[in-house]
Amino acid sequence: MTVEADLHTLLNGLAAGGAYPDVADEGAVTPYIVYQEITGTSIQYLERALPSKKNGRYQVAVWADTRKDAAAIALQIENAMLLTTLFQVELIGGRTADRDAVTKLRGSRQDFSIWSNR
């Protein structure tokens, strides 16, 4: 499996509306989770060998009708990420609260550094 497939499997059951890569589908049921690879650390060897691992920095956000629901699911996301054996995770900072002015949804997002098989 790819890291993206593993991440989707890990996150999809944590919110009633499921998990989506990049952006939620139009009309998605709340609460839902959105995840996106935003950068990473490149690995290159001088002897031109291919690395067996890769790194990606992923931002994971939850969107819900209330701050309480968003915060509760964000904690579940953090716990699931730290406890998974699918890949190696390092937290990059704490959670950030958010609010979408158009949908009026409450959000929480956090960044994770993920090391996985290439």
Express each pLDDT in 66-75 by its tens digit.
999 999 999 9
Q: Enter the pTM of the model.
A: 0.92
Closest residue by Cα to residue 4 from 21, 16, 25, 18: 21
According to DSSP H, which parts of the chain are helical?
3-12, 67-83
Judge whether 38 and 82 are in contact, CB under 8 Å.
no
* Residue corresponding to tokens 């964000």: 74
Express each pLDDT in 5-54 by its tens digit.
999 999 999 999 999 999 999 999 999 999 999 998 888 878 888 888 99
Domain 3-117, what architecture? 2-Layer Sandwich (3.30)
Express each pLDDT in 85-97 by its tens digit.
999 999 999 999 9
